[in-house]
């Protein structure tokens, strides 16, 4: 063990009480044992970040700061896996049906996970299409309470994944057309349909959540004594601002 600053401020006392060296009834007493002091080894800081910036950088830092690392992991896992299988399937098999089925299954799992798990967990948003008793179809949006904002890292990574992967599939579509790989174009189009649907749904869900937040702010102004003309001015300003930026 290398000489270093003691790991603990206090020493660990011996198990047995020590007595001064001498003789008791003609027998020589043993020499007192030295106190035990714990010292760190030379590699005690191996693998540890030396600065705050190092500790919060990279993929590991993102998952450490995430409030829901498992949901964040599967959000990227299914999307990356679908693209990886699409690009690399030709290197491992010539079976077109097997490759297509594998990519489609991953795309379906990603679509379901993003809409029902990742979106609700990471940013507190959810959407679905509902048909009423009259046969009319309409969209339903859910959002978390504005007083409980989402984790900034989770929200940032979710929106990055939501908008980045449709661009990647669009690039793959262009490559397929240039290489005349028409057999794989339907797969890419299906991927774009799934990804763009989530983009549109969550974008409108986020817009709906911001509008609800603006309405709640306007409603609370009446409780703060801003009724009458002052309340009307604030109501018009907030609604106009929300309509300009989100609608």
pTM of the model as a whole = 0.64
With vertex at residue 70, the alpha carbon angle to CA 68 and CA 76, rounded to the nearest 5 degrees, is 105
Q: Cα-flanking dihedrals φ and ψ of residue 123, to 5°?
A: -125, 0
Only one residue has tokens 């060296």, namely 21
What value does the mean pLDDT of the chain take? 74
Distances (CA, A) of 58 to 53, 55, 179: 10, 8, 35
Return the pLDDT at 106.
96
Token representation of residue 126: 């959810």
Distances (CA, A) of 214 to 151, 201, 230, 233: 20, 20, 16, 14
Asked if 90 contacts 103 with a C-beta cutoff of 8 angstroms, the reply is no
Domains of the chain, by residue range, sit at 69-203
Q: Cα-flanking dihedrals φ and ψ of residue 128, to 5°?
A: -160, 165
pLDDT tens across the length of the chain (247 residues)? 445 544 444 444 554 555 555 554 555 555 555 554 433 333 434 334 444 454 446 888 899 999 999 999 999 999 999 999 999 987 888 888 998 999 999 999 999 999 999 999 999 998 888 888 888 888 888 888 777 788 999 999 999 999 999 999 999 999 999 988 788 899 999 999 999 999 999 998 888 878 776 666 555 544 444 444 444 544 454 445 444 444 4
């Amino acid at each position: 063990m290398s000489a270093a600053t003691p790991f603990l401020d206090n020493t660990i006392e011996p198990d047995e009480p020590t007595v001064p060296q001498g003789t008791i009834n003609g027998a020589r007493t043993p020499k007192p044992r030295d106190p035990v002091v714990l010292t760190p080894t030379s590699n005690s800081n191996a693998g540890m970040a030396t600065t705050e910036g190092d500790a919060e950088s990279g993929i590991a830092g993102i998952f450490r700061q995430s409030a829901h690392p498992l949901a964040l992991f599967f959000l990227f896992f299914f999307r990356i896996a679908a693209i990886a299988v699409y690009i690399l399937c030709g290197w491992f098999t010539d079976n077109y049906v097997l490759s297509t089925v594998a990519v489609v299954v991953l795309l379906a799992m990603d679509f379901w996970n993003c809409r029902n798990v990742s979106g609700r967990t990471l940013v507190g948003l959810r959407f679905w299409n509902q048909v009423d008793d009259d046969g009319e179809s309409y969209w339903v949006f859910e959002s978390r309470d504005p007083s409980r904002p989402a984790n900034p890292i989770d929200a940032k990574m979710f929106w990055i994944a939501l908008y980045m992967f449709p661009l990647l599939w669009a690039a793959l579509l262009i490559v397929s057309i240039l290489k005349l790989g028409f057999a794989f174009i339907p797969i890419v189009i299906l991927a774009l349909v799934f990804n763009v649907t989530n983009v549109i749904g969550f974008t409108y869900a986020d817009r709906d959540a911001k509008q609800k937040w603006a309405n709640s702010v306007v409603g609370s102004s009446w409780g703060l004594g801003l009724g009458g003309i002052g309340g009307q001015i604030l109501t018009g300003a907030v609604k106009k601002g929300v309509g300009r930026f989100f609608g």
